[in-house]
Amino acid sequence: MLALEKLVISGSKRSKITIEGAIPVLINLLLQNGSEGQKTSAVRLLGSFVSNDAAIGVILVREGAIPPLLGLLQTGYEEQKTLAVQTLCGLTSTDEACSEIARGGSVSMLIELLRGGTEDQKKYAGRALERIVASDENCSEVAREGTISHIAELVKTGTESLKTFGLRTLVKLVRIATNREEIARKGGCLELAQLLRSGTDEHKTLAVTILEELTVGDEFSSEIARDGSASLVALLRDGSEEQRLQAGRVLEKLAGDSACRAQVTRDGAIPVFNTLAKTGTEEEKALAVSTLNKLVLQGTDIPPEEAIPPLITLLDPGTDENIQANAIRELSRYADNDEHLSEMVRLGAVAVVVMLLLRAKSVEQTTNAVRMLGRLAIDDTQSKQITQQGSIPYLVALLKTGTGDQKCWAAFTLRKVTACEANRDEIVREGAIPPLVALLRGLNEELNTSVVRALGNLTTTDAHRAELSREGAIPPLVELLRKGSDELKKHTLRALGNLATDDAYRAQMAQEKAIPALISLLRTGGEAHKPNAARTPELWKYRLFIDCKVLDENNQLLQS
pLDDT of residue 1: 47
Is residue 204 domain-resident?
A: no
- 38-42, 52-56, 178-182: the lowest-pLDDT one: 52-56
Is residue 306 domain-resident?
A: no
Sign, Cα dihedral of 26, 31, 36, 40: positive
Is residue 239 domain-resident?
A: no
Count of structural domains within the chain: 1
Is residue 532 domain-resident?
A: yes
Write the CB contacts of 339 (distance below 8 Å, at least 6 apart in sequence).
none
**pLDDT score of 30 more than 70:** no
Is residue 434 domain-resident?
A: yes
Is residue 9 domain-resident?
A: no
CA angle 54, 60, 62 (to 5 degrees): 115
pLDDT in tens, 302-338: 999 999 999 999 998 888 888 998 899 899 989 989 9
pLDDT in tens, 373-399: 999 999 999 999 999 999 999 999 999
Smallest Cα–Cα separation from 165: which of 182, 152, 177, 176?
Answer: 152
pLDDT in tens, 353-363: 999 999 988 89
Length of the chain: 560
pLDDT band at 539 (very low <50, low <70, confident <90, very high): very low
How much is the average pLDDT of 154-175?
Answer: 87
Task: Report DSSP letters for 171-192, one per residue.
Answer: HHHHTSGGGHHHIIIIIIHHHH
Q: 39 and 71 in contact (C-beta within 8 Å)?
A: no
What mean pLDDT, rounded, does the chain reach? 84
Q: Rounded to whole angstroms, how far apart are CA atoms 312 and 345?
A: 10
> Can you give the residue range of the structural domain that contains 520?
428-560
Residue 513's region, left for phi above 0, alpha for psi from -120 to 50, else beta, is left
Is residue 501 domain-resident?
A: yes
Secondary structure of 306-340 in HEC code, one letter for each residue: HHHHHHHHCCCCCCCHHHHHHHHHHHHCCCCCHHH
Smallest Cα–Cα separation from 150: which of 120, 200, 122, 113?
Answer: 113
How much is the average pLDDT of 139-145?
Answer: 73
Q: Rounded to whole angstroms, how far apart are CA atoms 335 and 315?
A: 15
pLDDT in tens, 59-107: 888 888 888 888 888 888 899 999 999 999 888 888 888 888 887 767 8
**pLDDT score of 531 more than 50:** no
**pLDDT score of 281 more than 90:** yes
Please report, to the nearest 10 degrees, the dihedral formed by the alpha carbons of residues 257, 263, 267, 272 taken in order. Answer: 20
pLDDT of residue 545: 47
**CATH code where residue 544 lies:** 1.25.10.10
Q: 356 and 317 in contact (C-beta within 8 Å)?
A: yes
Is residue 519 domain-resident?
A: yes
Q: Rounded to whole angstroms, how far apart are CA atoms 550 and 483?
A: 22
Write the CB contacts of 193 (distance below 8 Å, at least 6 apart in sequence).
207, 211, 227, 228, 230, 231, 232
Q: 440 and 476 in contact (C-beta within 8 Å)?
A: yes
pLDDT of residue 28: 63
Tell me the angle at which helices 241-255 and 221-238 cross, rounded to the nearest 10 degrees.
150
Q: What are phi and psi of 438, to 5 degrees?
A: -60, -35
Sign, Cα dihedral of 87, 88, 90, 96: positive
Q: Which long-range contacts (CB under 8 A, 24 or more apart) does 342-350 make?
A: 342/378, 343/304, 343/305, 343/308, 344/308, 344/312, 344/376, 345/376, 345/378, 345/382, 347/308, 347/309, 347/312, 348/312, 349/312, 349/315, 349/376, 350/376, 350/382, 350/385, 350/386, 350/389
Q: 312 and 348 in contact (C-beta within 8 Å)?
A: yes
**pLDDT score of 536 more than 80:** no
pLDDT band at 270 (very low <50, low <70, confident <90, very high): very high
pLDDT band at 32 (very low <50, low <70, confident <90, very high): low
How much is the average pLDDT of 524-552?
Answer: 47
